[in-house]
Amino acid sequence: MSSDVLSLSLIEQAPKVLLHDHLDGGLRPITIIELAKECGYEGLPTTDPEALRTWFIADEPNGDLVRYLAGFTHTTAVMQTKSALARVARECAVDLARDGVVYAEIRFAPELHTNEGLRPSDIVRAVLQGFNEGVDEARGEGNVIIIRTILSAMRQAERSREIAALAVDFRDEGVCGFDIAGPEKGFPPTHHLEAFRILQKADFHLTLHAGEAFGLPSIWEALQLCNAERLGHGVRIVDDITWEKNDVRMGRLANYVRDRRVPLELCPTSNVHTGAVSSLREHPIEKLRQLKFRVTLNTDNRLMSGVSLSSEFDACAMTFGWDLSVMEWLTLNAAKSAFYQFDHRLDLINKVIKPGFAALRN
């Protein structure tokens, strides 16, 4: 490990890559309040911005996924018009760019925004428009960011084929991948095999939420039955690894994931808040990094966890002793794993990320 000690100011200046972030989990509290007023939504627990920010952060001891997901009732309720969707997307791009994120893949589920009669295609267009506006606004502030979109289908619903086809239809307009989200237990990804066939026939990218609330079987199904390229979370791969003093033994699935360089979209703070792990110190991200898994660091839901990508790096640096070289390694992992054309990834790495870290060292 080098002597490049990480500070929050250094982290904020570093170029960062984000692969796992939910659009409806990253709203500004003041935006929620204003949109609720516009659409007549009266279900908010408070209309004080700071109190609302505090309410959304699900960091009680022994957190669980049910409490964590409660906030999405409010965010999706105010994201039911094209103007609201475009505003949220625009602000997302600006906020990430201000945090030093140079490339981000933001995911959302169109089916959650149809309550007022919007067609899924109109929903996608509104979000893409918002991202484009946000990229332009960020550039005006002196921040350059590339935003690409992943469409999610909900495990517990029956619209995955429709959403998969929609993702393929918008592949040339900014949609770069497809995802299955929602409760893992009781809703295996194999219920959506027809959706995955649509993607495979179109040579399209697939990441799956797997190995977060459920264990190794969900990871195995995602990789071997659904052909996922990345694992959303994937934190439970640690269940296939044992440490006995200085001896590390990995099971066949863990070896397969590491050998194939399957990217793990890890979200440590979110995992603590949902109860997937008991504390940040107990999170396996550092052990997986030391074992050279393809680890990436992500936010999941910036509002619900009260994080930015910079704060997530800062928390892990404080907890695990990470330095600038570790941060660069994780950032390069994310860039290599992006659903982005190969030559564009090389440009991102060689013209933005590596020079950015070199400048910080100087």
Q: Which residues are catalytic?
A: 212
- Ordered DSSP codes for 124-140: HHHHHHHHHHHHHHHHH
- The dihedral built from the CA positions of residue 52, 56, 61 and 62, taken in this order, carries a sign that is positive
H or E element in which residue 76 lies: helix 72-77
* 3-state SS class at 227: coil
Contacts 24+ apart (CB under 8 A), 276-281: 276/212, 276/213, 276/233, 276/235, 276/236, 277/235, 280/315, 280/316, 280/319, 281/319
Pairing of strands 264-266, 230-233: parallel
Pairing of strands 247-250, 241-244: antiparallel
**Residue 105: beta bridge partners?**
148
